[in-house]
Amino acid sequence: MASLSTLLLRGPSVLRRCPWLPAARTYAAGGDFEYIIAEKRGKNNNVGLVQLNRPEALNALCKGLIEELSRALMMFQKDPSIGAVVMTGTEKAFAAGADIKEIRDKTFQSCYSDNFLKDWDFLNQFKKPVIAAVNGFALGGGCELAMMCDIIYAGEKAQFGQPEILIGTIPGAGGTQRLTRVVGKSLAMEMVLTGDRISAQEAKQAGLVSKIFPVEKVVEEAIHCAEKIASNSKIVTEMAKESVNAAFELTLAEGMRLEKKLFYSTFATDDRKEGMNAFVEKRKPNFKDK
């Protein structure tokens, strides 16, 4: 979860806020945020957008930022109008890692007793699809945060890495586990043991990234994808996400059994009936999320 800001980027760095985002930092009745910007986007306001906004620290993932991110996602989860979420940073950095100044004095006892990183579990439990729109650095905890999302879109200048080894530690929020499952043992081992970064093009070739876009287009394209997802039945979308995620944890036989049960479950929904009727009648379905 290391931050590369202390290793690669000496001196002050000022990040520009995404020009496509308005000045507001609040979402509905959720209150003010200090480290993020949260709002609804899309033609039908059915996409949640979260921008990490801690420019003075390259969006380093301090405790306050993670807590605000958790709170924003909780609000999006409870909002029935939201069908998918886009998470982004700035053109310079998605997130350059953990806040080293905040964690450098921790001990084994405090990490173990306080269950350090427990606040990261919120994204694992989030049911709606999340698309990471990555520009610039996604390093250490930033790379791990992107991998916790369901889809990764990258700007053409994005860089991914797990540089924890360079400051005497290892990844702690999925960098050795999710990365290995996605890109394979050899590349994951190289990245974790050397701290080297890979480009957006290399990340796509390895299967870490779904698509690459120009820097100024990646968030727009992620929102467009999220709108497509949000137009489908939300309850069936959640089933589909659960089934795909299970492929990383279950054997093939166990995964097939779960998939079949979830497939059967769709036949208990009104949306499955509406979708098939609309197909037969050659019209657009009107899903009610029931």
Domains within the chain, CATH numbers bracketed: 5-230 (3.90.226.10), 234-280 (1.10.12.10)
pLDDT by residue (tens digit) across 220-261? 999 999 999 999 999 999 999 999 999 999 999 999 999 999
**CA 120, 214, 160 angle in degrees (round to 5)?**
35
- Please name the helix (run of DSSP H) or strand (run of DSSP E) that holds residue 254, with its range, or none: helix 252-266
What phi, psi does 39 have (nearest 5°)? -160, 170
pLDDT at 247: 94
Rounded CA-CA distance 83/200 in Å is: 27
Q: CA Rg, the chain, in Å?
A: 19
Residues that are catalytic: 98, 141, 144, 164
Backbone angles phi, psi at 40, to 5 degrees: -95, 140
Query: How far is it, in rounded angstroms, from Cα 26 to Cα 29?
Result: 8
Instruction: Quick: pLDDT tens for 15-42.
Output: 344 444 444 445 554 458 899 999 999 9
- Write the single-letter amino acid at 282: K
> What average pLDDT score do residues 3-21 get?
40
Sign of CA dihedral 39, 42, 47, 49: negative
Show Cβ contacts of residue 180 under 8 Å, excluding neighbours closer than 6 positions.
Answer: 188, 189
